[in-house]
A and B are shown apart, each in its own frame.
Chain A
Amino acid sequence: MNIATPTKIQYEAIIGLETHCQLSTHTKIFCGCSTAFGTPPNTNICPVCMGMPGVLPVLNQTVLEYAVKAGLALNCHISLFSKFDRKQYFYPDLPKNYQISQYDLPIAENGWLEIELVDESGLNPVQKRVGITRLHMEEDAGKLVHAGSDRLAGSSYSLVDYNRTGVPLIEIVSEPDIRSGKEAAEYAQELQRIIRYLGVGDGNMQEGSLRCDVNISVRPIGQQKFGTKVEIKNMNSFSAIQRAIDYEIERQIQSIETNIPVIQETRLWDESNQCTMSMRRKEGSSDYRYFPEPDLTPIELSSGQLKNWQGDLPELPAQKRHRYVSSFGLSAYDARVLTEDRPMAEYFESVIAAGANPKQSANWIMGDITAHLKTTKQSISQLSINPSDLAELIHLIEANTISSKIAKEILPELLVHGGSPQSLIDQKGLTQISDTGLLMAAIDKVLTANPQELEQYRQGKTKLLGFFVGQVMKQTGGRADPKLTNQLLMHKLTD
């Protein structure tokens, strides 16, 4: 994104994201403790994750599987030989005083992710590839829960909950390919979709299962040298990522324009004040003194194993978006909405597999069905109307057996009780009347009953046609074929 400034110098932002994503395993990465969120403080802890002397961590094989699958989904090269390392630093949320992570041999490297950007109207989609530098496995730290102040002793302290310590994470580092807050938010959102499609994590930003740190610098367009890089943390929604970056781009440009040097530092996004704030510099440098973790064996993968995991991958959101546009003729916007989550996409595909028209199916799902799910706070998998029932309903409209008005009228019942739309309309006698004789009889009745309107129509007030159609509908309990009724009425009235 180019940012215009009063002095006409054009700037560009260079942005990269580091994303931490919790994996949804039952147990922690190196011990059998539960990873459940929201359990009482310090109950999911054991000597291994608390770093007691003499304990032995053992890798959870599901963590490896999930990390490799995420790497494959991000088009990464998977390392057939990989290992863990210790990253040394002191912080109270880290009981061992080191974090087990991966340093020089991460499980996955050199991938990419496709993001799709649409304009305000939801049209004109543009695809962009963002490079993935690396993806590695590591353990999460604990949580500083509450900072109190001990006034008597004159010292302040914090409280720590170590339940989260050792929960498996993958850290995904992007190339500095991102140029705007919008692109960054879209990148993070696409990562979330992929994680959820794979079923390897819940990607919940509010609960902290998906956390994004941003690296950002600004430079005049055309300048080779990068500007000073600033790190931003503490954004817990996609829109916060976008706003924090847009704010920071402006702040850095202002600094450059007013000759105040941009300092290399970590800043926190302040949601209530909508700005980034300098975080007090951590004492000591970030000299992590990585060394190979001696308690864990290296990981060697066979190509057969990789092939199996590759075979397990579902069709991913970007692939689905492309297919919905190219094979089903949907708009980019519709394709995006329907592929937002996997159950919705799968429901839609089942409706089509049952023979329904893709555009009609999309309209019903994105319209009435989504509205119903919102009001009942249900997920699509809890829906009573199954995909083949919806396909049948769409067929009935296309075959002129019922009007779409009738379809909408019977939908609430189908949404609650499910079942075959055909039997429901049979049972209620709602089949559309397409019999010319029956319709003509109804039309005659309506014209006779409304001589005044008929006279006005004949004198040129032709918009009364709608009134007559409405009367015929009333006469037939909404069952008259609207198109045919229109034609017959026109014919009759112009006689």
Chain B
Amino acid sequence: MLKPEEVRKVASLARLELTPDEEGQFATQLSDILTYIEQLNQLDTTDVLPTTRAIDGSNITREDHLTPYANPRLILQGAPEPEGEFFRVPKIGGE
């Protein structure tokens, strides 16, 4: 079972604010997931190369050709707080 401080650390890394009830709930759910991974770990993978993706393949690249996006303003308008040409964001401590 995950300790409450471990849940709090993960939550703070993910910028989540949890109530004490939620902390308990996530402790159980995350522990279930970790238990499942533990089960997978029982498989002998000594001779299996690590894989990082589900599809094989390598070297998928593109040429350095300009393909500008037609409507960057649309992205700006979709932001919670556009301000003129800018995205407005909360001020970060230490700035």
Interface residues of A (CB under 8 A from B): 25-27, 31-34, 40-47, 50, 52, 58-64, 83, 88, 90-92, 144-147, 155-162, 279-284, 287, 289, 292-294, 296-300
Q: What sequence of 0s and 1s flags, for each residue 43-65 of chain B, a beta carbon within 8 Å of any chain A beta carbon? A: 00000000011100111111111
Could you tell me if A158 and B89 are in contact, using CB atoms closer than 8 angstroms? Answer: yes
A281 to B93, CA, bound (A): 9
Q: Which residue of B lies closest to A60 (CB)?
A: B64
Q: Which residue of A lies closest to B94 (CB)?
A: A280
Kindly list chain A residues whose C-beta atoms are within 8 Å of the C-beta of B68. Answer: 32-34, 44, 46
B87–A297 contact, CB under 8 A?
no
CB contacts under 8 Å to A, within B73-94, are 75-76, 81, 83, 85-94
Q: Is the CB of A45 within 8 A of B69?
A: yes
Between B54, B72, B95, the greatest number of chain A beta carbons within 10 A of the residue's beta carbon is seen for B72
Q: Is the CB of B85 within 8 A of A32?
A: no
**A90 interface neighbour in B15, B61, B66, B94, Cβ under 8 Å:** B15
B66 neighbours in A (Cβ, 8 Å): 26-27, 32, 34
A contact residues around B29 at 8 Å (CB) = none
**Which residues of the other chain, B, contact A297 by a CB distance below 8 angstroms?**
53, 57-60
Out of B59, B81, B90, name the residue touching A299 (CB < 8 Å).
Answer: B59
In terms of DSSP, what is the predominant structure of the interface of chain B? loop
Q: How far is the CB of B50 from chain A (nearest CB, A)?
A: 9
Distance in angstroms from B6 CB to nearest chain A CB is: 12
Residues of chain B lying within 8 A (CB to CB) of residue A32? 62, 65-69
Complex: A45 Cα to B74 Cα, angstroms = 10
Going nearest first, the 10 A-B pairs with the smallest beta carbon separation are A32-B67, A46-B69, A292-B52, A280-B94, A159-B86, A92-B89, A61-B61, A62-B64, A41-B85, A156-B91
How many residues of chain B are within 8 Å of chain A by beta carbon?
35
* Beyond A160-B86, A294-B52, 10 additional pairs, beta carbon < 8 A: A34-B68, A41-B85, A44-B72, A45-B72, A90-B15, A160-B88, A160-B89, A161-B86, A284-B12, A292-B53
CB distance from B92 to the nearest CB of A (A): 6
A61–B62 contact, CB under 8 A? yes
The reply on B13 being an interface residue by CB < 8 A is yes
In the assembled complex, 16 residue pairs joining A and B whose CB atoms fall closer than 8 Å, in A order, are A26-B65, A27-B67, A34-B68, A41-B85, A42-B75, A44-B72, A58-B60, A63-B64, A64-B61, A88-B13, A157-B89, A159-B87, A159-B89, A294-B54, A297-B53, A298-B52
Given the known interface contacts A145-B86, A297-B59, A299-B58, the answer about A158 and B92 at a Cβ–Cβ threshold of 8 Å is yes
Q: Is the CB of A92 within 8 A of B62?
A: no
**Smallest CB gap from A301: residue in B:** B59
Contact of B87 among A40, A160, A284 (CB under 8 A): A160
Set of chain B residues within 8 Å of A147, measured between Cβ atoms: 91, 95
Contact A300 B91 (CB under 8 A): no
When chains A and B are docked, how far (Å) is the Cα of A34 from the Cα of B65?
A: 9
Neighbour of B86 across the interface among A42, A44, A155, A293, CB < 8 A? A42
Contact A279 B94 (CB under 8 A): yes
- Return A400 CB to nearest CB of chain B, in Å: 55
- Are B91 and A158 within 8 A (Cβ)? yes
- Asked if B86 and A61 sit within 8 Å, CB to CB, the answer is no
Return chain B residues, CB-CB under 8 Å to A45: 69, 72, 75
Identity of the chain B residue whose Cβ is nearest the Cβ of A296 in the assembled complex = B60
B15 to chain A: closest residue by CB = A90
**Contact: B92 with A43, CB < 8 Å?**
no
Q: Determine the distance from Cα of A155 to Cα of B69 in the docked complex, in whole angstroms.
A: 33
Does the CB pair A60–B61 fall under 8 Å?
yes
Distance, CA A61 to CA B63, complexed state (A): 6
Contacts of B61 in A (CB 8 A): 58-61, 64
> A83: which B residues are within 8 A, CB to CB?
52
Q: Which residue of B lies closest to A92 (CB)?
A: B89
Q: Are B95 and A144 in contact (CB-based, < 8 A)?
A: yes
- Do B85 and A42 touch across chains, with their CB atoms under 8 A apart? yes
In the bound assembly, the distance between CA atoms of A31 and B69 in angstroms comes to: 9
Q: How far is the CA of A26 from the CA of B57 in the complex (A)?
A: 26
The interface centre, meaning the residue of B54, B64, B95 with most chain A CB atoms within 10 A of its CB, is B64
Question: Of A42, A59, A289, which contacts B62 at CB under 8 A?
Answer: A59
Cβ-defined contact, B95 with A158, below 8 A:
yes
Query: CA A64 – CA B59 in complex, angstroms?
Result: 10
Chain B residues with CB under 8 A of A63 = 64
Chain B contacts for A287, CB-based, 8 A:
13
A31 to B60, CA, bound (A): 13
> In the complex the two chains form, what is the Cα distance from A88 to B83 in whole Å?
27
Contacting pair B92 A61 (CB below 8 A): no
Task: Provide the residues of chain B in CB contact with A64, threshold 8 Å.
Answer: 61
Chain B, residue nearest A292 (CB): B52
